[in-house]
Amino acid sequence: AQTVTQSQPEMSVQEAETVTLSCTYDTSESDYYLFWYKQPPSRQMILVIRQEAYKQQNATENRFSVNFQKAAKSFSLKISDSQLGDAAMYFCAYWAGTASKLTFGTGTRLQVTL
């Protein structure tokens, strides 16, 4: 079964600094997708970034980028120039067509301090 592990329950970053959230996953599939979702205090689940496993190039969305290491089954999220609005729970998620569901990690709570 696919599993997603986020080993950092909480992280803290100062405003304008850079932070990296870690995620590892386990799968026997060769074709899959990985996602980072943000859940602010409003509890809405917001898609931050996605990565296709067959693409070697790391995905980037403005201040958010990923470091995708397929062989190591690692998928970290880097947030540059952190802003107060980035404070939220961040969930790493995995999707493969064979299962069609998203499998989530347990989340990392990110604090942004002044």
Partner 1 sequence: DSGVTQTPKHLITATGQRVTLRCSPRSGDLSVYWYQQSLDQGLQFLIQYYNGEERAKGNILERFSAQQFPDLHSELNLSSLELGDSALYFCASSPEYQETQYFGPGTRLLVL
User: Least distance to partner 1 from the beta carbon of 17, Å?
Assistant: 28
Q: How far is the CB of 4 from partner 1 (least distance, A)?
A: 10
Cα atoms in the Cβ-side hemisphere of radius 13 Å centred on 105? 30
Yes or no: say if 21 and 108 are a contact pair by the CB < 8 Å rule: yes
Cα–Cα nearest to 90, from 102, 104, 101: 104
Chain residues in the site for partner 1 (CB under 8 A): 33, 35, 37, 42-47, 50, 91, 95, 97, 99-104, 106-107
52 or 81: whose CB is closer to partner 1? 52
In terms of CB distance, is 82 or 103 closer to partner 1?
103
Q: Which residue has the tokens 């729970």?
A: 89
